[in-house]
Amino acid sequence: MRKTIFLTMWNLSIKPSGMNRSVFKQAKQFLKHGYQPVILTMDFSFDYPQITRELKAFGFIPDAVPVLNVYDYYAEKFNEKSMSAAQKAYYENSITKFEEGYWVEDDGDTARYFVNGVYTKYKRWDKNGQLMIVDEFDDNRVRTSRREFHPDGYLARETLYHPANNKRNQERYFTHSGFCYLTIWYNNETDRQQSVFLFDPSYSKAMVFPSMKQLQTAWIDELVNLEAVKPIIIAEQPSTVERVSNLEHDNASRIYMRHTSHVESFEPLVMEKDAAILLQVMPKGYPIVVTTEAQRRHLEQTIGDRENVFVMPDYFESTEPDVVRDMKKFVSVSSYDAGHATSELIDAFKLVVDKDPEAKLALYGKLTKQRKEAMNKQIAKLKLKDAVTVHGYQLNIDEVLAGAVANVIVSESDGQSSSIGEAFANGTPVIAYNVAFGAAEAITDGENGLLVDAHNVEALSESMIDMLDEEKAKKMGAAAKQQAEARYTAELYSKNWLALLDHIEAYTPKAPLI
Higher pLDDT, 110 or 338: 110
Single out the residue in 282, 311, 340 at which a domain terminates: 311
Task: Report the domain count for the chain.
Answer: 3
Asked, for residue 246, whether it belongs to a domain, the answer is yes
Query: Are residues 358 and 476 both part of a single domain?
Result: yes
Query: Are residues 446 and 365 both part of a single domain?
Result: yes
Higher pLDDT, 461 or 339: 461
Query: Are residues 419 and 339 both part of a single domain?
Result: yes
Query: Are residues 12 and 100 both part of a single domain?
Result: no
Quick one: which of 258, 338, 256 has its CA closest to 294?
258
Asked, for residue 500, whether it belongs to a domain, the answer is no
Query: Are residues 162 and 278 both part of a single domain?
Result: no
* Average pLDDT over every residue of 388-397: 90
Q: Within 13 A of 324's CA, how many CA atoms are on the CB side?
A: 2
Give residue 71's pLDDT: 98
Q: What is the pLDDT of residues 184-223, one digit of tens each?
A: 999 999 999 999 999 999 989 999 999 999 999 999 999 9
Scored b (16 or more CB within 10 A) or e, 280-293 reads ebbbbbbbbbbbbe
Asked, for residue 152, whether it belongs to a domain, the answer is yes
- In whole angstroms, give the CA distance from residue 408 to residue 432: 6
Whole domain around residue 58: which residue ranges? 4-76+214-311
Query: Are residues 371 and 435 both part of a single domain?
Result: yes
Q: How many CB atoms lie within 10 A of CB 64?
A: 11
Single out the residue in 311, 345, 364 at which a domain terminates: 311
Quick one: which of 366, 256, 313, 332 has its CA closest to 16?
366
Q: What is the pLDDT of residues 45-84, one digit of tens each?
A: 998 999 999 999 999 999 999 999 999 999 999 998 777 7
Asked, for residue 112, whether it belongs to a domain, the answer is yes
Asked, for residue 316, whether it belongs to a domain, the answer is no
Coil/strand/helix, residue 92: helix
Query: In CATH, what number is assigned to the domain containing residue 424?
Result: 3.40.50.2000
Query: In CATH, what number is assigned to the domain containing residue 178?
Result: 3.90.930
Find how far residue 344's CA is from the centre of its chain: 25
Asked, for residue 8, whether it belongs to a domain, the answer is yes
Query: Are residues 103 and 247 both part of a single domain?
Result: no
Coil/strand/helix, residue 256: strand
Single out the residue in 200, 230, 259 at which a domain terminates: 200
Query: Are residues 363 and 431 both part of a single domain?
Result: yes
